[in-house]
Structure 1
C-alpha cells in the first residue's frame, strides 16, 4: 500500500470513527460486521500496488527534534523542545510470485468474508430498522 493509499485508508477510518458518534445504530452495526472485510480490501489494495511497482515499501516514523521559543503564563519566553515525526518510505525487494500467491489468498479470504458479512448485515438491518 502506498503512503497515499494508506493515508486514505487511515483518513477513512478516522472519518468513520468520527462519524460513528453520529451514525445510526444500524450503521454502527454494519460497520462492525464489515470491519474484517474492509481490512482485507485494504490488504488487497496494498498487495496489488506492490505487484504493480515491483517492490514493497517499508514505512517508518523518524523523530525530528526542534527547538523553539515558548511562553509561560506570564508571557516570559523560554526555550522548549518538541519532537515531531516524519514518515519515510524505503523500497524493499519482494518476490513477486509470492506476492501473487498472497494476493490470491487474500482474494479467497475476501470472498469468504463477504459471504460471512452478508447475513450479519441483513441481521443489522432487521434489528435496527431505519
Structure 2
C-alpha cells in the first residue's frame, strides 16, 4: 500500500503529528494519506503513565476538546504541595520557594493512554 506519510508509533507525539499533517493538508485544500504504525494491540496499550498535563498543546491541536463527551482530561489541578522526604518522614516546603514550572494550576491530572485513545479517534 502507498501512503504519503508513515508515522511510526501511536503515542502522543505520533498521533499529534498525524493529526496536524491532516489539518495542514485540509487548510491547503488538499488531502494526504497518513498511516500510523503501532506495535501495541490498540492505541494507548503501551502508554501506562499517569501525568500532570499542560493542556496548551491539546487546545491548539483539538480546539473544543473540553466540551467533548469523551474528553480525556477532566481532573484539574487545584492545589500544589511539595515535600522533602527523608527516613524520618517529610517536611512540607513553601510553594513560593518552588520554581514557576512547578506551579500546576490550569493543568490536568490524567492518563496518557486515555489522551492517546482520544487523539486516535
Relative to its length, the structure with more helix (as a share) is 1
The structure whose Rg is larger is: 1
Decide: shared fold, TM above 0.5: no
Report the TM range for the smaller structure's normalisation.
under 0.3
* TM-score (norm: length of structure 2): 0.25
